[in-house]
Amino acid sequence: MTQLLMPKATAVWLIDNTSLSFEQIGDFCNLHVLEVQSIADGEAGIGIQGYDPVQNAQITQQELDRCQADSTGRLVLATSNLPTPNRRTKGPRYVPVARRGDKPDGIAWLCKHHPELKDTQIIKLIGTTKETIGKIREKSHWNIANITAKHPAMLGLCAQADLDAAIEKAGGSPHSEEQLSNMTELP
């Protein structure tokens, strides 16, 4: 369900431009009746510019007129026929300094258990460089003796849902038998 944008600014506009009761405004804006009353008295919300919900398609003029005529009526938020935006997969995000040493371990696990993953997918999941992935695959990384394959989601380098989506996109199965039977590689 969509929520009202800027509820206090909407309450300011409704107080100034309509004859709705404080209860109706409070119910619509999800504010307490006393808060709406203090906005109307000028004690709260000083300097907040009113936000027109009719002009911004959050409520229809017919709905507003209906509730002004009926003091017991409740305002209903207008529904939008716009499609809901898809959740964008996020790229590399900030990794604390203490966890940056875990990145090669996560890369080694991905290369060992899911060789079907492309370098670009690993880069997006863990936030590393193509050069580092290549060195770990070729076993020429400067710290290869200390790298142990560990699950990147368990290390906190990526989300399990993002990892599963990347594996399915690459054509693999997210929960392979080999992965489940070899639990010693979990941190």
Domain ranges of the chain: 7-69, 97-185
Give me the pLDDT at residue 1, please. Answer: 46
Give me the pLDDT at residue 96, please. Answer: 84
Largest CA distance in the chain: 78
- Given a cut of 90, whether residue 77 has pLDDT beyond it is no
Model's pTM, two decimal places? 0.50
Give the amino acid at 43.
E
Give me the pLDDT at residue 89, please. Answer: 62
Please answer whether residues 5 and 58 qualify as being in contact, where contact means their C-beta atoms are separated by less than 8 angstroms.
yes
Residue for token digits 């509820």? 7
Where is pLDDT greater, at 62 or 45? 62
pLDDT tens digit string along 23-44?
Answer: 988 888 888 889 989 888 888 8
Query: Strand, helix or coil at 41?
Result: helix
CB count within 10 Å of CB 84 equals 7
- % of the chain at pLDDT higher than 90: 28
Give me the pLDDT at residue 105, please. Answer: 95
- Given a cut of 70, whether residue 120 has pLDDT beyond it is yes
- Given a cut of 80, whether residue 122 has pLDDT beyond it is yes
